[in-house]
Amino acid sequence: MLENFVTPDFYPAAAELFIAAMALIVLVADLIAGTNRRWVPALLTMVALVGAIVVTAATADGQTVQTFSRMFVDDLLADFLKLMTYLAVIMALVYSRRYMADRKLDSGEYYMLVLFATLGMMVMISASSLVTLYIGLELMSLSLYGLVAIDRDSKKATEAAMKYFVLGALASGLLLYGMSMLYGATGTLEIGGIAQALYQGNVPKTIAVFGLVFTVAGIAFKLGVVPFHMWVPDVYQGAPTAITLFLATAPKFAAFAMAMRLLVYGMFSLAEEWQHMLLIMAVLSIALGNLAAIAQTNIKRMLAYSAISHMGFMLLGLTSAVVGGQVEPFAVVNAYSSAMYYVVAYVLMSAAAFGMVMLLSRPGYEADTLDAFKGLNQRSPWFAAVMLMVMFSMAGIPFFIGFFAKFSVLLALIKAGYTSIAVIVVLFSLVGAFYYLRVVKLMYFDKPDDTSPIQAGVDMRAMLTINGLMIAFFGLFPDAIMVLCTTTLMRSL
């Protein structure tokens, strides 16, 4: 067997190897530095992420390269989503630096878990085999379970972690069962091999469709859409806000990559079947997310239901590619690029929203209720304006990035012939605008309960400012990201 062993090409996986090595270095450095120099693991983690950006950019040549016995792929889609993931993690760490330090949670274990979760996302994004995908998923998930429970003295965080772990284990089991059925039907674990077997039509259709159903269930859990949304509000509310921000941003890129690799790259021949499933889940997610969010007084819980609604919108993009069995290359790229654009827009908006919650929090006080935003304009007109941009963008009001994200998805939906679905979705979005505008009303028309000045570091203020301006800028010039998404998919599909 050793004579037939082929040494894999490590070059396409250079970024993953770098992050894995840095995670171990962070753990050792924290032991050496001790509790008096908490800045050491924080600095090394930032170095790791910036280094990963450089490595990924340096190895990105636009070519599709497979390695590790065709289990790992490096293409333009992987490079783009990895770069977005690094940026999301960097934003999360900048926002959470003071928050975690004030609560004595900025230990080496925190930064190590963040890096291992990031590594899991990277492996998921580059997976070209069911085995690789599952390994990346479990590495990410186990790290996230640990992060949610990192505040061991908090009963809410422990309860949230337990719920997340139990439901996550159930979802992983469903996904693994679906993968085993796909393997049984096609005789291969390679995503490309599954696609070829399904295209040739020499597989038992019933077993393949059953495998597809369980696979879609696993994807739906990671995206947090109906009916696998139960964990989202409880985990978002119970976890420390810094962890909630991390959970709400970077993993969305990995979940989108998982959907693209499994459904589009692997099971495109069954597109009509899985599109119908995604369409039902998308409409129910938008309906439930917007209606349930109205009743919330906790802003983290409100944003959790908002996330369910937004991920429903993203799924609508994935359902608009194949119509009546007809495949038009332009329509396919347009639909999937609108979904990718929506993920990028949502991560930008979600990061800023949770960043504002952490800005208003202080030791001994969590600004996780809507009342915490009362009179924010009197305390800081600029940060009130940033939150206004975030809320307007999430509501889909022109001219912010959220409006064009929703517009591109609805356009793809209408072109696919789902006009009635588009009308229903718009009506639910109008209902959802209420709870976003309620936050704006509290900031500008209510008197503040706390008139003390807002305390925040330069890095936090700068990141919130940049984040808010990005939401406004890419709303005025949406093509800047849309062209990137379209080009990436055209070169990768």
d(CA 138, CA 20): 15
Tokens 């001790």 correspond to 34
d(CA 120, CA 109): 16
DSSP per residue over 77-92, as a string? HHHHHHHHHHHHHHHH
Per-residue pLDDT tens digits for 443-482:
999 888 777 778 778 889 999 999 999 999 999 998 889 9
The structural domains of the chain, with segments of one domain joined by +, span 8-492
Pairing of strands 326-327, 72-74: unpaired
Per-residue pLDDT tens digits for 80-120:
999 999 999 999 999 999 889 888 888 888 999 999 999 99
Per-residue pLDDT tens digits for 332-379:
888 899 999 999 999 999 999 999 999 998 887 888 889 999 999 988
User: What sign does the dihedral 418-259-484-469 (CA atoms) show?
Assistant: positive
d(CA 375, CA 442): 6
- Say if CB 44 and CB 29 are below 8 A apart: yes
pTM for the model stands at 0.94
Please give, one letter per residue, the 3-state secondary structure of 168-203: HHHHHHHHHHHHHHHHHHHCCCEHHHHHHHHHHCCC
Res 9 pLDDT > 60: yes
Res 121 pLDDT > 50: yes
Q: What is the dihedral of CA 130, 487, 223, 248, to 10 degrees?
A: 120
Residue 333 is encoded by which pair of tokens?
Answer: 């790229």
Q: How confident is the model at residue 33 (pLDDT cuts 50, 70, 90)?
A: confident
d(CA 392, CA 344): 17
d(CA 367, CA 57): 38
Residue 224 amino acid letter: G
d(CA 446, CA 376): 9
Residues present in the chain in total: 493
Closest C-alpha among 250, 160, 387 to residue 395? 387
Residue 102 is encoded by which pair of tokens?
Answer: 């004030």
- Say if CB 254 and CB 136 are below 8 A apart: yes
Residue range 316-339: mean pLDDT, rounded: 82
Residue range 404-408: mean pLDDT, rounded: 93
The more confidently predicted of residues 324 and 246 is: 246
Per-residue pLDDT tens digits for 254-311:
999 999 999 999 899 888 889 999 999 999 999 999 999 999 999 999 999 999 999 9
Residue range 433-437: mean pLDDT, rounded: 93
